[in-house]
C-alpha cells in the first residue's frame, strides 16, 4: 500500500509522521507533499530521509492520502486524488458536512468509515476531544442538552500559532508590545473568546462545528448543544468544561466507572490528590483525560465534567491514522473509489 501525506511539513504533518512511526498500519511506500516553499526539504521517518515534493494539481500516485494542508487545498484537489484511485482521509473542514462523506471517530462510529465514496472526513479537534466522552454517556443515559466551554491552545492555529505564543510571550516579558498576527488579539497573558469567523447567530464557526459534528458523529440530529470557544495562552492541548442534562439520571460514581471502560479515555479524577485533566498532562498522550466528574447543580441527575486532550494527536493526526488502521484491520483498504 502506497501512503501519502499532504501538508507534511505543518504541525499536524509532523505529528502524522510521529504517529505512523508507532502505528500498526502496513504500507510499502510513504510519500510526502507540501507547498512549493517546502519542496526539496527532507523529513526523517524510521531512519530514512524522505524528500518533500510539491503537491501536484492532479492525481497523486498513492492508495491512501492523509491530507492536512487546509480546506482550500482539499476542496480543490481531493476530487482529483479520488479520481486517481486514492482514498482520502481529510483533516480539514472541506467535506465534514457533506451528507455522503462520513465523519469518523473510530471509537464512536468507526463503521461509518466503511461507507465512504473516496473521502473520509476527520472531525474538528475540539469535537474529537469531547465526543469520546459524550458518546458513551449518551448511549447509556441519553444527553438532552450539553453546554460546552472550551479552552483551546495555540496549537489549534498550527505551527504559526504556537510560534506566535512563544515569541510574543518573550516580547511581553521583556517590556515590548506584542502585535497579533495568527490571532485576532495578542495571546500572551490573555483570553480570546473568538475562534474562526462569527456566524449570523452570534456564534463562531468553531462553536458551531462542535454542534454540527457532535450530532453527526453520535448520530443524533436533535441533540441540543451550546458552545463557547476561547483561545488561551497554552502551547498544546485543548480543554473543555461540559455540563450535561440527561434523560436518565447518572451518579458521578457510575459515570466514572462507565468512562474507565471507554476506549480512548483516561479517567483522571481524584481532587483530594490534585488529580484532574490538564493540558500539561494531556500533551503527548493518545488518550483524552476526563475528570472533575460531579453532580450538576443546574440539572437534576445531570453531570459536570472537565476534559483535556492533545489537539495535534487525538484531535488531528492520531485520529486520521486510526481511521486507516480501522479500515485495514477489517480488510477494507481496497484500491480505488467505491471498492470498500
Strand partners, 244: 146, 303
Cα–Cα distance for residue pair 149/156, rounded to 1 Å: 15
Catalytic residue among 14, 116, 138, 238: 238
Cα–Cα distance for residue pair 135/141, rounded to 1 Å: 10
Catalytic residue among 14, 125, 138, 227: 125
Told to judge if 105 belongs to the known catalytic residues of this protein, a careful annotator would answer: no
Cβ partners under 8 Å of residue 225, min gap 6: 145, 146, 147, 148, 210, 211, 214, 215
Comparing CA positions, the residue from 313, 308, 307 lying closest to residue 284 is 313
Told to judge if 238 belongs to the known catalytic residues of this protein, a careful annotator would answer: yes
> Are 1 and 333 contacting, i.e. CB atoms less than 8 angstroms apart?
yes
List active site positions. Answer: 125, 238
Amino acid at each position: 500500500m502506497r501512503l501519502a501525506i499532504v501538508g507534511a511539513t505543518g504541525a499536524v504533518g509532523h505529528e502524522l509522521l510521529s504517529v505512523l512511526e508507532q502505528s500498526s498500519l502496513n504500507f510499502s511506500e510513504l510519500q510526502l507533499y507540501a507547498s512549493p516553499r517546502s519542496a526539496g526539504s527532507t523529513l526523517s521517518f524510521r531512519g530514512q530521509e524522505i524528500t518533500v515534493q510539491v503537491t501536484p494539481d492532479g492525481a497523486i500516485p498513492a492508495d491512501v492520502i492523509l491530507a492536512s494542508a487546509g480546506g482550500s487545498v482539499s476542496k480543490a484537489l481531493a476530487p482529483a486524488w479520488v479520481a486517481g484511485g486514492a482514498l482520502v482521509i481529510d483533516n480539514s473542514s472541506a467535506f465534514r458536512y457533506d451528507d455522503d462523506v462520513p465523519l469518523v471517530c473510530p471509537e464512536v462510529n468507526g463503521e461509518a468509515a466503511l461507507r465512504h465514496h473516496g473521502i473520509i472526513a476527520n472531525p474538528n479537534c475540539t469535537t474529537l476531544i469531547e465526543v469520546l466522552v459524550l458518546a458513551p454517556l449518551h448511549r447509556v443515559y441519553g444527553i438532552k442538552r450539553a453546554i460546552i466551554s472550551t479552552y483551546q491552545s495555540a496549537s489549534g492555529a498550527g505551527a504559526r500559532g504556537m510560534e506566535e505564543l512563544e515569541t510574543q510571550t518573550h516580547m511581553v516579558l521583556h517590556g515590548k508590545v506584542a502585535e497579533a498576527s495568527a490571532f485576532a488579539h495578542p495571546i500572551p497573558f490573555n483570553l480570546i473568546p473568538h475562534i474562526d469567523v462569527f456566524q449570523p447567530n452570534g456564534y463562531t464557526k468553531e462553536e458551531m462545528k462542535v454542534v454540527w459534528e457532535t450530532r453527526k458523529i453520535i448520530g443524533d440530529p436533535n441533540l441540543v448543544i451550546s458552545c463557547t470557544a476561547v483561545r488561551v495562552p497554552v502551547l498544546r492541548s485543548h480543554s473543555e468544561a461540559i455540563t450535561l442534562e440527561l434523560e436518565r439520571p447518572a451518579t458521578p460514581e457510575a459515570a466514572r466507572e462507565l468512562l474507565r471502560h471507554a476506549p480512548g479515555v483516561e479517567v483522571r479524577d481524584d481532587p483530594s490528590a490534585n488529580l484532574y485533566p490538564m493540558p500539561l498532562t494531556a500533551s503527548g498522550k493518545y488518550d483524552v483525560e476526563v475528570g472533575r466528574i460531579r453532580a450538576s447543580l443546574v440539572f437534576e441527575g445531570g453531570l459536570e465534567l472537565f476534559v483535556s486532550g492533545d489537539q495535534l494527536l487525538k484531535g488531528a493526526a492520531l485520529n486520521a491514522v486510526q481511521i486507516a488502521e480501522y479500515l485495514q484491520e477489517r480488510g477494507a483498504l481496497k484500491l480505488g473509489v467505491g471498492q470498500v
